[in-house]
Amino acid sequence: MKLLTILLASVALCAGSAIPLVPGDNSNYVEGVSRYIWMPDGEDVPHLVDLHAPVDEAQLLDARNGANNEYWLFTRQNPTSRQVLVNGNINSVRNSNYRANRPTKVIVHGWNNNGNTHMNPLITSAFLAVQDVNVIVLDWNRLANGLYTTAVQGVPDVGRHLGNFLIWLFNNAGGNWNQLHLVGFSLGAHVVGNAGRTIGGRAARITGLDPAGPQWGNNANALNRHSGIYVESIHTDGRALGIFDPISDADFYPNGGRNPQPGCLTPTCSHGRATELFASSIRFDHFIGRQCNNLNDAQLSSCNGGQLRMGNANLGKRGSGLFGLRTGSSWPF
């Protein structure tokens, strides 16, 4: 029996250390066991990530002192040309189109992305199409484009600096916590989780778009339901690039919440699909989730309980539980 136990442990260790050879194929990935995983960049090109890679301490310094963060403002007056807001520089705000009486939306990208990655203008334009709002895109590309393991360690500091920036902004230029909506994709979901807790959970709403899974299971720094007044997550690549377990007040599982999502032609496409579904929901508010009895029902999309709309821009949205739904395979899904 002892020999069998040792043999099984050796097999698991070898499987966990095996390098997946097909680019983008994470079908054999097991959270907490596998050492390697394919992760896409902003153009959906897969990159092989070593989850055991040593953290680059020098790179973390930028995250700790806030130098890694840039805050780009977009409004209906400048929908595509960013204005850079500088923490502590009130003139950068006074000389911008920021208006305290508008709702404020904050968008945060994930690993191997930047402020110009497709998801940012996609979601920004959707918000501006339906509401007169301040949209602030957090660009943290210097850390986000380093080693994944280093970026994971830097997420709490990036989030705390974002939270402190919002406190400074609202205290000095005006703003309303009840009109604040934080949106984060992948690692960015955990960034906004930390930002939300930094501001005392006062954000009216937080949306996590397929919150990153690798190295985030049972991680105290992950997005959770205490990060804001109402916290929701949209899961599209669970048990691979995204967390599958519920972590929010309301957790949505479109098409079962896992890879492959309808219409995805590459294995890593499902992770980014959450950003597209969210942008579409802002413009059309057409996704209606049905409450599930348990996680298994959510994965099977066999849910027929009460209704709650997935996504949208409604700051007063409230709800709790697990929700399943089906979507189409192409825009607007």
Report residue 247 CA to chain centroid gap.
Answer: 12
CB 233 within 8 A of CB 252: yes
The total of other beta-carbon atoms located within 10 Å of residue 138's CB is 28
Q: Tell me how far apart the alpha carbons of residues 106 and 142 are, in angstroms, rounded to a whole number.
A: 19
Question: What is the amino acid identity at position 146?
Answer: G
List alpha helices for the chain, DSSP H: 2-17, 57-65, 90-94, 119-130, 141-144, 148-173, 187-198, 269-284, 295-300
* 218: enclosing H helix or E strand: none
The C-alpha atoms of residue 43 and residue 288 are separated, in whole angstroms, by 29
Which residue type, as a one-letter code, is found at position 325? Answer: L
Cross-strand partners of 309: 288
Question: What are the backbone dihedrals phi and psi of residue 143, each rounded to the nearest 5 degrees, phi first?
Answer: -80, -40
Residues designated as active site: 186, 210, 271
Task: Write the burial class of residue 320 (CB in 10 Å: 0-12 exposed, 13-18 middle, 19+ buried).
Answer: middle
CA-to-CA distance for 298 and 9, rounded, in angstroms? Answer: 32
Instruction: Quote the tokens at residue 140.
Output: 């943290």
Alpha-carbon span 111 to 200, nearest angstrom = 26
Instruction: Tell which residue, 271, 260, 230, has the closest CA to residue 119.
Output: 271
CA–CA separation, 87 and 136 (whole Å): 13
